[in-house]
């Protein structure tokens, strides 16, 4: 009997404990429990300690009010240019109304996933691959707007939708890599060409400036040389006019310059200019004037002192001898110059008779009388002592 009573007491105590447990509900923060009474919605339990009617009130669902993140598996999507791409999406949402999230939709997470897939296919289907790859922000905004409008009836707020990855087919990836490689090569070639162009421009500008500076230096040098030559000519001209030389001195200087005229290495024929005969005529006229002492031809010369006559004769002989020596040295110089020029031709072999190899340097006189005959005639006109 006592054992039966103990069993009954134990059952009563167990019932009381179970009743207390079912009548007391502790809800954690950021969670709300939907309570039904006799199968109908009664109330939502807020965080903290809550009391329920045991065996009458029951908790239908426990709704997490925090923002949640769901990553959907890759979904095949066809673009407007008929390319199949795989797109991974990440969805951020939170439950704002636990009652509607419980009673308006059976499984809101699955509904959000399917809605995201269909919306993504609609959006991507209106774009080509290149635009889809470069328009992620636009796709995200479009998805967020559509999902937020649809899930608002379910008591759910979609805060953010992100495209995690867009994977084109392998063949398209290879083509894209080749295209990008070609684009980078093109940019590199353009940069190299621009660098080469700038280098050539700078080099040309440097050469231009150097040429201008060289031209300016050459011009200044020539101006200075011309000014120096002008001053030298002016000085010589002033000195000649100051000295006032007579024609005989000028003729003698001219004869002294003749060997230098004939000193060229390529001279085979030396032409005696007509001015030489005029110079010799001038010297002869001077000597004749000294011999005649101003007496006209055919008139008997007056008696001249023997000492003066000897002095005049000696001077005339010296002048004639110097003139002969000058003419002889000029002819010798011309012969030597001609021999030096024709020497390489003789080294090759004997020249034919009458050819250019046998030509000796020639002295062609002007139409006037030879210099030696003029000198001899003028010398004979001077009476010997």
Per residue in 229-249, pLDDT (tens digit) is: 888 888 877 877 777 666 666
pLDDT of residue 25: 85
What is the per-residue pLDDT for 241?
A: 75
35 - beta bridge partners?
43, 59
- pLDDT score recorded for residue 376: 46
Predicted confidence at residue 375, as pLDDT, reads 42
Q: Which residue has the tokens 């002889």?
A: 328
Q: What is the rounded distance in angstroms from the CA atom of residue 251 to the CA atom of residue 323?
A: 10
Q: Give the tokens for residue 285.
A: 């006229």
Angle between helices 247-261 and 306-347 (to 10 degrees): 20
d(CA 374, CA 296): 19
pLDDT tens digit at each of 385 positions of the chain: 677 788 888 888 888 888 888 788 888 888 888 998 888 888 888 888 888 888 888 888 888 889 989 888 888 888 888 888 888 888 888 999 898 888 888 888 888 888 888 888 888 888 888 888 888 888 888 888 888 888 888 888 888 888 888 888 888 888 888 888 899 999 999 999 999 999 999 999 999 999 999 999 999 999 999 999 888 888 877 877 777 666 666 666 666 666 666 666 655 555 555 555 555 555 555 545 444 444 444 444 444 445 655 665 566 567 667 766 766 766 676 666 556 545 544 444 444 444 333 443 444 444 434 444 444 444 444 444 3
The two structure tokens encoding residue 242: 């100051």
Cα–Cα distance list, 354 to 339, 351, 357, 358 (Å) = 17, 8, 8, 6
Q: Which residues contact 78 (CB under 8 A, 6 or more apart)?
A: 84, 85, 121, 124, 125
DSSP 284: H
Give per-residue pLDDT as tens, 267-289: 555 555 555 555 555 555 554 54
What b/e string do you get for 39-69 counting C-beta neighbours within 10 Å, with b at 16 or more?
eeebebbeeeebebeeeebbebeebebeeee
Q: What pLDDT score was predicted for residue 297?
A: 44
Query: How confident is the model at residue 317, as a pLDDT?
Result: 64
Task: Name the percent of the chain in helix, strand, coil, to the closest 5.
Answer: 60, 20, 20
Token reading at 123: 């959006």
Query: Given this model, what pLDDT does residue 220 score?
Result: 92
Tokens 């700038």 label which residue? 198
Rg of the chain, C-alpha, whole Å:
66
What confidence score (pLDDT) does residue 138 get? 86
Residue reference for tokens 């008779």: 353
- Going from the C-alpha of 10 to that of each of 5, 6, 21, 24, the distances in angstroms are 9, 6, 16, 21
Model-level pTM greater than 0.85? no
The torsion angles phi and psi of 121, rounded to 5 degrees, stand at: -65, -35
Instruction: Decide: 38 and 14 in contact? Cβ < 8 Å.
Output: no
Residues facing 94 on adjacent strands? 157
Report all structural domains of the chain as residue ranges with CATH numbers, in order of start: 2-64 (no CATH), 68-171 (3.30.479.30), 247-294+306-346+357-381 (no CATH)
């Amino acid at each position: 009997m006592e054992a039966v009573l103990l069993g009954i007491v134990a059952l009563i105590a167990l019932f009381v404990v179970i009743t207390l447990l079912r009548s007391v509900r502790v809800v954690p923060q950021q969670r709300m429990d939907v309570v039904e009474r006799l199968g109908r919605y009664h109330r939502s339990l807020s965080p903290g300690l809550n009391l329920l009617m045991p065996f009458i009130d029951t908790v239908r669902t426990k709704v997490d009010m925090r923002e949640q993140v769901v990553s959907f598996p890759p979904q095949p999507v066809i673009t407007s240019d008929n390319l199949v791409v795989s797109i991974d999406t990440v969805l951020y949402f939170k439950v704002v109304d636990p009652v509607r999230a419980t009673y308006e939709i059976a499984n809101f997470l699955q509904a959000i996933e399917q809605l995201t897939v269909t919306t993504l296919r609609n959006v991507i289907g209106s774009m080509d691959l290149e635009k889809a790859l470069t328009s992620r922000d636009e796709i995200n905004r479009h998805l967020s707007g559509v999902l937020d409008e649809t899930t608002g009836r379910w008591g759910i707020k979609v805060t953010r939708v992100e495209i995690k990855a867009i994977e084109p087919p392998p063949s398209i990836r290879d083509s894209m890599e080749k295209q990008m490689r070609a684009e980078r090569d093109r940019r590199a070639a353009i940069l190299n060409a621009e660098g080469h162009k700038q280098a050539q421009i700078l080099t040309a500008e440097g050469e231009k400036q150097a040429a201008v500076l060289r031209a300016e230096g050459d011009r200044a040098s020539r101006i200075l040389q011309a000014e120096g030559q002008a001053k030298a000519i002016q000085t010589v001209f002033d000195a000649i006019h100051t000295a006032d030389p007579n024609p005989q001195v000028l003729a003698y200087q001219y004869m002294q310059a003749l060997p230098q005229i004939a000193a060229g290495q390529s001279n085979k024929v030396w032409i005696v200019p007509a001015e030489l005969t005029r110079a010799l005529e001038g010297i002869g006229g001077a000597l004749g004037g000294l011999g005649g002492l101003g007496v006209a031809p055919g008139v008997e010369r007056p008696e001249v002192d023997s000492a003066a006559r000897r002095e005049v004769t000696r001077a005339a002989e010296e002048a004639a001898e110097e003139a002969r020596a000058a003419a002889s040295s000029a002819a010798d110089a011309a012969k030597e110059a001609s021999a030096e020029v024709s020497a390489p031709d003789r080294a090759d072999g004997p020249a034919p008779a009458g050819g250019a190899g046998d030509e000796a340097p020639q002295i062609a006189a002007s139409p006037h009388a030879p210099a030696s005959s003029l000198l001899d005639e003028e010398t004979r006109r001077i009476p010997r002592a």
